[in-house]
């Protein structure tokens, strides 16, 4: 067996892609290992979202080049591949700056990895694939070899929204949806391998518009409806959504589809209309408030989460106060928040009125304090309730199991390992900093 080490940066979509790359390379004799030392192949599956992402990849590659040279001295070989969004964005620049790299493969082309490896061996050179062949890769991927209790399933890729701070439309291409029949097939395979929950992934997952074999288009609500019919599958979730794509049928599905969990990650980024416009989000803060009202009407107990960027270019104190007001109005179960940082090539990176770092730090601190208060409030509101929990794994304390509520909160419970993969009612007794604790009811 040859050893394969995949290092994954970034989002769940990259985690899904990394698992698929490992599945693709298994027939070539590669088995996954958890360290680069001694590996026959190393793949860095990169993310371009964070600041200086490319620089971090180059410094990691420098480290791996030394490892590769030592392995060659000892008579071995280490293939070095860069995959993901940095591969897409940097392309040939990667092999120009780090000649030890053998393969550069974009997020839409990694199904070609086996043939790229053969070409690299044949031609003793670098092989690059950074096309956008519109979801062709999904037809070439093998069936999932294994599955956890909760499994990711990519249904949509790319983005047409061009928010002015974001690189995704440039690295992942335009919005494309996989055919529903292919998704249902993969979901059935995952359920057969033990998945009890499926998390549908897409950069704009609620823009899903799947081309069905009968020439009709399926919405995400229709897809969730069909997935609900799969035996063994108890829960369906989806992420990440855009407020503009929250269709009436998807809102209604939250009230009608019992397997669709009452949890929605719906990023708003800011509560100021001026900032939302500068971000090119194409909705106002009040549009978002009205949307949340409609969602809560369909599913009153839904847990809402969001992303926030503070210190976007031009953000005034008043703009920031408007964001705090929006958070107060909505009431989030949890949320992710970041200081604005420039992404090369995006319009916001060249906007005037960039905000000083100390202002960003102060605003982020204030915003996170409010979000944490809301998170604790939401978690505390579950104490005393009996909730259905899906058990995913053993907790770090080996006598306990870790499962999740319908609202995605982690729960720790004393219980037998036979409960893994099962649902059981749990009485929630207390909250600690990062999780709930309860007893089997």
403 Cβ contact partners less than 8 Å away, ≥ 6 residues apart: 389, 390, 391, 392, 410, 411, 413, 419, 424, 426
- Give the pairing type, strands 150-154 and 197-201: parallel
**What residues between 240 and 259 interact with ligand SF4 by CB under 6 A?**
242
| Beta pairing partners, 150 | 197
H helices of 124-207, where?
Answer: 136-140, 168-171, 180-192
Pick the piece of the chain touching ligand SF4 (CB under 6 A) from 64-72, 156-164, 298-306, 396-404.
156-164
Closest approach, Cβ 307 to ligand SF4, in A, equals 8
Closest approach, Cβ 311 to ligand SF4, in A, equals 16
Pick the piece of the chain touching ligand SF4 (CB under 6 A) from 81-89, 99-107, 158-166, 391-399.
158-166
Closest approach, Cβ 217 to ligand SF4, in A, equals 20
Closest approach, Cβ 53 to ligand SF4, in A, equals 15
**What residues between 199 and 238 interact with ligand SF4 by CB under 6 A?**
203-204
H helices of 299-425, where?
Answer: 317-330, 357-380
Pick the piece of the chain touching ligand SF4 (CB under 6 A) from 4-12, 157-165, 311-319, 410-418.
157-165
End-to-end CA distance of the chain: 46
Residue 89 or 166: which CB sits closer to ligand SF4? Answer: 166
Residue 203 or 375: which CB sits closer to ligand SF4? Answer: 203
Residue 25 or 166: which CB sits closer to ligand SF4? Answer: 166
Rounded-to-integer distance, Cα 371 and Cα 377, Å: 10
Q: Residue 204 carries which DSSP code? A: T
CA dihedral over 350, 353, 356, 362, signed as positive or negative: negative
Residue 97 or 283: which CB sits closer to ligand SF4? Answer: 283
Closest approach, Cβ 128 to ligand SF4, in A, equals 24
Pick the piece of the chain touching ligand SF4 (CB under 6 A) from 104-112, 155-163, 255-263, 359-367.
155-163
Closest approach, Cβ 239 to ligand SF4, in A, equals 11
Closest approach, Cβ 16 to ligand SF4, in A, equals 16
Rounded-to-integer distance, Cα 404 and Cα 377, Å: 18
- Give the pairing type, strands 303-310 and 263-265: parallel
Q: Which helix (H) or strand (E) holds 437?
A: strand 436-440
**What residues between 364 and 423 interact with ligand SF4 by CB under 6 A?**
none
Residue 267 or 421: which CB sits closer to ligand SF4? Answer: 267
Closest approach, Cβ 163 to ligand SF4, in A, equals 3
Helices 317-330, 285-298: crossing angle, 10 deg rounding? 10
Rounded-to-integer distance, Cα 51 and Cα 341, Å: 6
Closest approach, Cβ 285 to ligand SF4, in A, equals 17
Nearest to 135 by CA among 171, 168, 177, 104: 177
Closest approach, Cβ 162 to ligand SF4, in A, equals 6
Residue 326 or 387: which CB sits closer to ligand SF4? Answer: 326
Residue 169 or 180: which CB sits closer to ligand SF4? Answer: 169
Residue 59 or 174: which CB sits closer to ligand SF4? Answer: 174
Q: How many CB atoms lie within 10 A of CB 278?
A: 21
Beta strands per DSSP E along 33-166: 41-46, 79-84, 103-105, 127-129, 150-154, 156-157
Q: Residues binding ligand SF4: what is the number (CB under 6 A)?
A: 10
Closest approach, Cβ 203 to ligand SF4, in A, equals 4
Q: Does 48 bind ligand SF4 (CB under 6 A)?
A: no
∠ CA 277-309-56, nearest 5°, is: 120
Q: How many CB atoms lie within 10 A of CB 433?
A: 7
Q: Which helix (H) or strand (E) holds 23?
A: helix 12-25
Burial track 332-347 (b if 16+ CB lie within 10 A, e otherwise): bbbbebbbbbebeebb
Residue 129 or 175: which CB sits closer to ligand SF4? Answer: 175
Residue 58 or 338: which CB sits closer to ligand SF4? Answer: 338
**Residues across the chain:** 441
**What residues between 159 and 188 interact with ligand SF4 by CB under 6 A?**
159, 161-163, 166, 168-169
Rounded-to-integer distance, Cα 91 and Cα 368, Å: 37
Which residues contact ligand SF4 (rule: CB under 6 A)? 159, 161-163, 166, 168-169, 203-204, 242
């Amino acid at each position: 067996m040859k050893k394969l080490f995949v290092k994954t940066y970034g989002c769940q979509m990259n985690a899904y892609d990394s698992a698929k790359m490992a599945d693709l390379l298994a027939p070539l004799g590669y088995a996954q290992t958890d360290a680069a030392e001694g590996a026959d192949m190393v793949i860095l599956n990169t993310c371009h979202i964070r600041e200086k992402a490319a620089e971090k990849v180059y410094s990691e590659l420098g480290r791996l080049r030394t490892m590769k040279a030592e392995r060659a001295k000892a008579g071995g070989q280490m293939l070095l591949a860069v995959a993901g969004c940095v591969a897409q964005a940097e392309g040939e620049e990667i092999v120009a700056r780090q000649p030890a790299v053998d393969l550069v493969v974009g997020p839409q082309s990694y199904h070609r990895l086996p043939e790229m490896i053969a070409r690299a061996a044949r031609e003793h050179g670098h092989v690059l694939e950074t096309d956008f062949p519109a979801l062709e890769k999904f037809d070439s991927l093998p069936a999932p070899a294994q599955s956890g209790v909760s499994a990711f399933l990519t249904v949509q890729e790319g983005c047409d929204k061009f928010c002015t701070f974001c690189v995704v439309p440039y690295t992942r291409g335009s919005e494309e949806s996989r055919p529903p029949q292919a998704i249902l097939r993969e979901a059935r395979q995952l359920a057969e391998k033990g998945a009890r929950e499926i998390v549908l992934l897409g950069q704009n997952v609620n823009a899903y518009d799947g081309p069905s074999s009968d020439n009709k288009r399926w919405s995400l609500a229709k897809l969730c409806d069909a997935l609900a019919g799969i035996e063994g599958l108890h829960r369906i979730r989806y992420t990440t959504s855009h407020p503009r794509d929250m269709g009436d049928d998807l809102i209604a599905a939250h009230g009608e589809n019992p397997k669709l969990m009452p949890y929605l990650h719906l990023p708003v980024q800011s509560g100021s209309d001026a900032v939302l416009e500068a971000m090119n989000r194409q909705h106002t803060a009040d549009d978002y408030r009205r949307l949340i009202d409609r969602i809560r009407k369909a599913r009153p107990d839904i847990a809402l989460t969001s992303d926030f960027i503070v210190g976007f270019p031009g953000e005034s104190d008043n703009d920031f106060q408007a964001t705090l007001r929006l958070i107060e109005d909505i009431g989030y179960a949890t949320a992710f928040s970041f200081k604005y940082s420039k992404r090369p090539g995006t319009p916001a990176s060249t906007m005037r009125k960039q905000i000083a770092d100390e202002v960003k730090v102060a605003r982020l601190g204030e915003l996170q304090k409010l979000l944490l208060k809301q998170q604790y409030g939401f978690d505390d509101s579950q104490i005393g309730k009996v909730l259905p929990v899906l058990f995913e794994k053993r907790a770090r304390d080996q006598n306990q199991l870790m499962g999740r509520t319908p609202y995605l909160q982690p729960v720790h419970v004393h219980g037998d390992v036979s409960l893994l993969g099962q649902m059981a009612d749990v009485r929630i007794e207390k909250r600690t900093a990062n999780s709930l604790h309860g007893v089997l009811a």
